[in-house]
Amino acid sequence: MEIASKSELNNWDEIDWVKVDSSVFKLQKRIYRASLAEDYKLVHKLQKLMVKSWYGKLLAVRKVTQENKGKKTAGIDGIKSVSPSKRLALVDELAIDGNANPTRRVWIPKPGKKEMRPLGIPTMLDRAKQSLLKMAIEPEWEAKFEGNSFGFRPGRSCHDAIKAIKDSIRTKSKYVLDADIASCFDKIKHDTLLNKINTLPEFRSQIKAWLKSGVVDFSKWSQRKGYNQTLAGTPQGGVISPLLANIALHGMENKLKEYVMGIPKRFPSGGMMSKDKRAKALSVICYADDFVIIHDEIDTVLKCKEIIEEWLKNLDLELKPSKTRIAHTLDVYNGEQLGFDFLGFHIQHHELGKHHSGKNSSSKKLGFKTIIEPQKEKIQLHYRKLDECINKMSSHKQSELIGKLIPIIRGWCNYQSPWNSSKAFKKLTNLMWNRLWRWGKRRHPNKGRKWISRKYWDLKNKGWRFTFKSEDFVYTLPKHSDFSCGKMWVKVQNTRSPFDGNETYWSKRMGDRYLTSDPQKSRLLKKQKGKCGYCGLNFHSEDLTEKHHIKEKSKGGNNSDKNLVLIHLHCHDQVHGKR
C-alpha cells in the first residue's frame, strides 16, 4: 500500500480521494482473505500497516469529521466542527498509542418511551482513532462472523434479518423465542471481551484504554454527576462500539447448532436425520443484542433458551424478562398472541383458503401465508412524530412544513416498503389528510372549505395533493400510499462480505436494492453505473450518499431525475462549500 508524503499535501480539497479510498479498501480485502485462511501472522502485519498508513488516517478523519451523523456533537474537548486545515492537523496527531480521554455522557429518550438511555460521546481525536482501528480490525472479524448476524455490519441490513426469518418459517409453522439482552452495551465484561478479540498487544492496550476511560456526566438524569469509572460495557456512541458488541456476542449461533446436531432425530419413516439437516432445522437470527431462535419443537426452543442464558453469564449478561417471550407463528401458545415483533415488524402466519394460501417448493398448498407488516406501536409512533412536527410549525409557511415532513415520511416508508405495508400506508394517508386539514382550518378560521382547499391543495393532478405553488417551483408533499410495498427483498448470501472482493455480486446488490430502498436513488445509481457523480469513485456499501441538484431550486431547478446526480455526502459538502 503506497503511503503518501505529508509534504505533498497542503490543502484538504487537494486530496485524491479516489486513490485514498481504493488503496484502503484493497488493504482491507487483503486482511479479510488472510483471516479467512487463518494466516494471523499476515493479518497482524497488514493491520499494523493500516494503522500507520497516511491514507488510512486521512480516511478515518474524513469519516468522523465529514460523514458521521454525530460530527456536530462535542465530547469533553468541546470540538464539534473541524475546519479543513484542522483536519490535516488531526491526521498528523493520529496514532494508536494506548491513550484515551473520558467520554461525555448524554441521555436520549428511547423511541416511543419515557425512559432515557445513555450515550458516550468520545473526543474528536478518540473518534478518529477508533475509526482507524476499526478499519484494521473489522475485515478480520468479517471473515469470522456467523452468516445470520446482521446488526451494524457492512453490506447487511435489518431487511436481510427479516428475510432470513421469512425463509425459515415460509413453509412450516414454528415456535419462536423472541429475546433481548438486558443493557448489553453497558454490562459486557471487559476481560472476556479483550481475550476474545485476541489481537496485537498495542491494539489490545488501546481498546482497553477506551473501555476503562470513564465518563463525565453533568445531566439531570445522572445519579452520580462528574467523572465516573467504567468497570464494564462498551459506551454507546463510540465508532468502534458496535463492532466490539458483535465480537462479544459472536459464537451464539454455533453454540446452539452444536447442541441441535447432538440430538438424534428420526424421520416419520424411521430413518435418521443427518447432522446438516438437524442444523438447518434450527434458525438463530441476530441483530446486535436482539435475536430470535426458531424451531418446530417447543422442547428444543426451551433448551436453547437455557443454553443461551448460561452462555451469556460468561459476559455478565442476561436476557431481559420483559422483552423475552416464546410464541408460535400460527397457533396460540401459553396465552401469548400469535406471531412476534422484530425490528419494527410484526411477523405471523395467517390461515387462508386455497386461493390465497402459500405454497411450498413442490407447489403444495400450506393452508397459511407468512405476513410481515409494520408493528402497530411503530405506526402510532410515526404518526405521533408527524403530529408533533405539524403542531410545532403551526405558524410557519406551507413550504417549510412540507420540507420538514418529506424526510420523515420518505424515510419511514422506504424502511417499511419491502413488506406487506399497504394497509398501514393507506391508514396513514387518511390520518395525514385529516391532520393537515385541521392545520389549514386553524390558520384560517374565518375562511370556507373551498378557499382552504384551493390555497393548500392541488385538486387537479391525482387529487388532493398538499402543494405549495410559487412562480419558481411547485413543492408537493408525498402521500404514504404513493410508496410501493411488497417488493421482493434479496437477502445477502450466507457469510458474504464487501471485503471478499466479489465485485460482480456487490455491484449488482448496490445497483438493484442494496444501497437504499429510495427508488430515485436506485435509478440514479444504475444510471451512474455505481459511481459518484462528483469524484467518480465507486460507492461502497457503507458510504453515505446525497442527491445533488444540478440546477438549484432557487434558480428554477426541480426534483426530476434529469436534474439530480447521486454523490458522496462528503462530496456534497465540498460542492456546497465552493458555492
Q: What is the pLDDT of residues 507-521, one digit of tens each?
A: 667 554 433 346 677
Mean pLDDT of 456-467: 83
Give the orientation angle of helix 241-249 with respect to helix 190-197, to 10 degrees. 90
Give the orientation angle of helix 17-36 with respect to helix 40-52, to 10 degrees. 160
What distances in angstroms separate CA 85 from CA 9, 65, 73, 82, 208, one per listed residue? 11, 12, 20, 8, 31
- Using a pLDDT cut of 70, give the percent of the chain over it: 92
Of 297, 363, 373, 365, the residue nearest 333 (C-alpha): 297
pLDDT at 4 over 60: no
Phi/psi of residue 69, each to 5°? -65, -20
Specify the pLDDT at position 8: 55
Specify the pLDDT at position 269: 60
Q: How does residue 578 score in pLDDT terms, banded at 50, 70 and 90?
A: low
Specify the pLDDT at position 233: 79
pLDDT at 116 over 60: yes
Three state DSSP letters for 181-229: ECCHHHHCCHHHHHHHHCCCHHHHHHHHHHHCCCEEECCCCCCCCEEEC
Which residue in this structure is represented by grid cell 443454553?
307
Domains (range + CATH), the chain: 256-374 (no CATH), 377-482 (no CATH), 503-578 (1.10.30)
Q: What is the pLDDT of residues 206-264, one digit of tens each?
A: 999 999 988 888 776 666 677 878 888 787 888 899 999 999 999 898 888 888 777 77
